[in-house]
Structure 1
């Protein structure tokens, strides 16, 4: 059981909830803080004080006062009117992360929401009642209004959910679990939708996949080094210490470890003096990707524990401040950075694929073909990798440099952070397929060199890879192989990575 406090949720804990179905609960102290904040809201309503979002309309309607007897209608209208997202739903794992992050943010005690509503959010997480949330429609400032409104619809018994493998009305799932929808009171609708949880949830899932992919890319590239009789001198520790980047030093160390007992690698001057950049510069390029991912991780873990709605309540309600914590700029930048970093993993991987199949660049059979001319082998796999890499370059265009005014120019600068996070996720899926192609080609290359000469750790990957994709003995529909390899990389158990000492 993971206890939420609103203060210290980590990516490792998110991984446990999302991938290992760990249950969550709210700490007693955080629930008390939420209850105290709620008392402040009720006092504001009873005194008819003019406070944005509590006794006024929203956005450009912030100057319109709302009577006490209409506060429930105000919140209900807010949710219904803002639930206008479009497009395919977020992956279920992302929507679940969204619910968890929203609960954690509300537990900070600045939002004025009843503990009952937080309990219902936690129910959704623990019972795997996953809101159906369209991906498109957020500007990434004023919060992720449209996506989070679809989340809030579920709490009030409207909208749809994914439940036990089906897409059904939320009320039906509630009835099966014996729980009840809530009626939103003053400020509660606004507190639920005014936040960055859509972009952050998408970013969390993207980061966790990108982190695993970054480790896998080093192991796959190590097998490529063996397939090309790569030179190990470039990975010598002193070379990387001389530059000083921690992540570069660590990447080189892992490559050395993976290939420490290989009989397929060479030294300077044995076959050639130096390798091409796509081999020689793996620590520099992959290490730079790790630098970016470390930055992304830092920003995500801050945002996961942030109060991002508006207004925020301080001093037991004596101070209520309309600010801009809902603005997604920090996450927008982080997601754009992750896009570029992961796209570069695909870029350099595609160049290694070319070196594996191009007879002008190696001494292997052309295109790794089992029968030159009659069988095309991996020829078109490289086309696919090149296509995916090119698509990544378009997706990597920074979303955060764009802004379109909204709400009658009241909200005149927005982050587009949710678009950035969605595009980052697409790039990660594309990059995994590129690395899957490199894995297929590298396995074929080491077979020509002699599998028995492989390093013990790359041999483990080879054996795992051959469970996914058989050796190329004749041409077949390689699309199926690529998807199987990519799916295998995505589902690769953490125990396997730990077996290789990738994850301690």
Structure 2
């Protein structure tokens, strides 16, 4: 395992959180972060002792803000339990490690008022690989109360958790992991649940997965260019310089590198003066997706390195009510990313269909080398159509209006968690679609006689053929698609079509 990610020492990146989520690293707090956490907790205690009204500490929560509480009441122990209202699928190990690390990173900012024992307890769940059972539906995006409450409940020996592959009561999980249940005091309960760490943690994984997927999409696009014998004019530096737009030169430049050294770069090698738009517009469309991904990455990393606590307990000695839990910016970035990826999906689907059509590609129908009574990749078209349709459906935006809650005090919501989840679903399906394009384009290249591939594309072809044999007689395509999908998810094609940072 790599050295632990030290929270509060340097600026966190998406790659740091992904390393923890994937089990390659654990987390610890820096000495500076622990000092900040202790200072914030002392400030909270001082303000409470002085009788200051502090939301969620000496007052009730939500609509009950007009209720006065004693700071030494058991309210902090009750806060998570009352908010364990989630339903639906349980978060995966990878998702939960990302979410818990994100919340711990923000506690390290020293603005939460949480005790050091509570911050260390949360980090210990990651270190000991205790995975609370967290139903993922219940957040409306203005603080991910329900999923975070399920995590907090395990820290107090409630709820349930997975440890060593077994789902057990939270109290048993803590005991087996050598951890002591927490007694939540001060602002501990509120600090654990009042955050958008679930949305941000899921967003981290979505950005990293999308980066691998788009890199593979560039490699697949270059392979399809070779298979279709496309004109390279639309991805030339001269053409793109006429209208420089974010992302498109990164895509086109990567493709040009892949195509270097092959016969397609020679004058007159293209079959047509102008190719179908699904080929010709690859740089602007995929470039727009790359730009959308960059924007999402920047917002996610800004979130990782900031505080969303309400109220913030500041070292200057006061409590500051705020709206830093709002995730409108994150929601809009991921809605935009989903829409951009849906456009990529439409083009990928069309390229696959064009390669299979003899009228369009001048290759055998459905790319079967044996035409008599063989299916080739004909029925794979149904899978392609289904994936594209499901992606388009998920690209529809979430409603702007959400039912007001908390006696209509909370009368606006972003649905950030749901938006990030549906964008991640788009990434998953588009990755499968790109796996199909790699499989189909590799077949088309093998059937195209008298060509020499670009050096980079030859590497892509070899990578595909290392996992998937050329199709001769009909066979199930599912194992081939799944093998390539797994390679994309693991970053196997990043070296060929890498178009940016983000996952590094």
Query: What is residue 416 of structure 2 aligned with on the other side?
Result: 417
Q: Distance in 1 between matches of 2:141 and 2:192?
A: 15
- The structure-2 alpha-carbon separation of the partners of 1:503 and 1:207, relative to structure 1 and needing over 3 Å to count, comes to closer
Query: Matches of 1:171 and 1:390 in 2, distance apart?
Result: 45
Structure 1 residues 257 and 443: alpha-carbon distance in aligned structure 2, compared to 1, 3 A threshold: same
Aligned residues: 498
Distance in 1 (alpha carbons) for counterparts of 2:483 and 2:197: 32
Shift of 1:91: 2.3
Alpha-carbon distance in 1 for matches of 2:409, 2:26: 40
Match of 1:332 in 2: 331
Question: In structure 2, what is the Cα distance between the partners aligned to 1:488 and 1:220?
Answer: 13
Q: Which moved more, 1:411-420 or 1:233-242?
A: 233-242
State the distance in 2 between where 1:7 and 1:188 align.
Answer: 25
Are residues 1:310 and 2:310 paired?
yes
Q: Report 1:193-342 matches (<5 A).
A: 193-264=193-264, 267=267, 271-317=271-317, 319-342=318-341
| Equivalent residue number for residue 130 of structure 1 | 131
Cα drift, residue 290 of structure 1: 0.9
Show CA shifts across 1:88-112 (max 9, x none): 1122211111100101111111110
Q: What's 1:378 paired with?
A: 377
Between the aligned partners of 1:498 and 1:371, the Cα distance in structure 2 is 34
Question: Does the 8 A contact of 1:247 with 1:287 survive in 2?
Answer: yes
> Using a 3 Å threshold, how does the CA distance of structure 1 residues 501 and 107 change in structure 2: closer, same or farther?
closer
Q: State the partner residue of 1:178.
A: 178
Structure 1 stretches lacking a partner, 5+ long: none
Q: How far has the Cα of 1:77 moved from its partner? A: 1.9
Could you list the per-position Cα deviations for residues 66-92 of structure 1 after superposition, in whole angstroms to 9, with x for gaps in the alignment?
Answer: 13442xx21222211111111111222
Cα drift, residue 53 of structure 1: 0.6
Unaligned runs of 5+ in 2: none
In the alignment, does 2:56 pair up with 1:53?
Answer: yes
- Indicate the residue corresponding to 1:11 in structure 2: 14
> How far 1:419 moved relative to its partner?
0.7
Instruction: Report the equivalent of 1:497.
Output: 494
Q: Report the TM-score, using the length of structure 1 for normalisation.
A: 0.94
Structure 1 counterpart of 2:110: 109
Query: 1:246 deviation in Å?
Result: 4.3
Given that 1:405 and 1:412 are in contact with CA atoms closer than 8 Å, whether structure 2 keeps it comes out as yes
Tell me what 1:83 maps to: 84
Match of 1:354 in 2: 353
Deviation at 1:344, TM superposition (A): 2.0
Q: Is the 8 A contact 2:363 2:447 kept in 1?
A: yes
Alpha-carbon distance, 1:438 to partner:
0.7
Three-state SS of the structure 2 residue aligned to 1:401 is coil
1:28-84 residue CA offsets vs partner (Å, 9 max, x unmatched): 1121111111012222333343221111111001111113442xx212222111111
- SS class of match (1:453): coil
Counterparts of 2:181 and 2:339, CA distance in 1: 42
Identify which of structures 1 and 2 has the higher relative contact order when contacts are C-alpha pairs closer than 8 Å and 6+ apart. 2
Superposition RMSD in Å = 2.1
CA apart distance, 1:209: 0.4
CA contact (8 A) 1:7 1:305 kept: no
Structure 1 residue 264: Cα displacement: 4.8
| SS of match in other structure, 2:123 | helix
User: Bigger CA drift: 75-84 or 94-103?
Assistant: 75-84
Q: Provide the secondary structure at the position in 2 that maps to 1:379.
A: coil
CA gap of 1:197–1:340, structure 2 versus 1, over 3 A, is: same
